[in-house]
Homo-oligomer: A and B are copies of this chain.
């Protein structure tokens, strides 16, 4: 089942490398900001990753959801915490979030299977 995670990470890594090798400076700086914004500050990393997860879910970006599920999992977010975050996303964003919730749940199960 771990194929979903590997496939996502491989494609993402391959294309990010190409984008960063391209000489568009605005894109490079957005990537750089994307790293800095989730570093510990007034809020801790775990909270920030949950914020990134919910923002991605209500905007219905599957790849962004996967990325933040992976970082949430690394930061020790529990399944119950992830589901509470996703339930707020589904309530605020509506039932159109449900198909993304299904795919998020499947991805989370895979993340747990890899690390167990």
B94 with A63: CB separation less than 8 A: no
Known: A33-B30, A102-B15. Is A55-B93 also a contact (CB below 8 A)? Answer: yes
**In the complex, what's the smallest C-beta–C-beta distance from A1 to chain B, in angstroms?**
13
This protein's copies in its complex: 6
A residues 56-106 touching B (CB-CB < 8 Å): 56, 58-64, 78-81, 83-99, 101-103, 105-106
Size range of the chain A interface in the assembly: 35 or more
| Pick from B16, B43, B97, B103: contact of A84, CB under 8 Å | B43
**Alpha-carbon gap, A37 to B97, bound state (A):** 16
**Alpha-carbon gap, A56 to B58, bound state (A):** 9
A37 with B91: CB separation less than 8 A: yes
**Alpha-carbon gap, A9 to B113, bound state (A):** 25
A99 with B25: CB separation less than 8 A: no
- Is the CB of A111 closer than 8 A to any CB of chain B? no
Chain B residues contacting A78 (CB-CB under 8 Å) are: 42
Known: A48-B88, A80-B24. Is A59-B58 also a contact (CB below 8 A)? Answer: yes
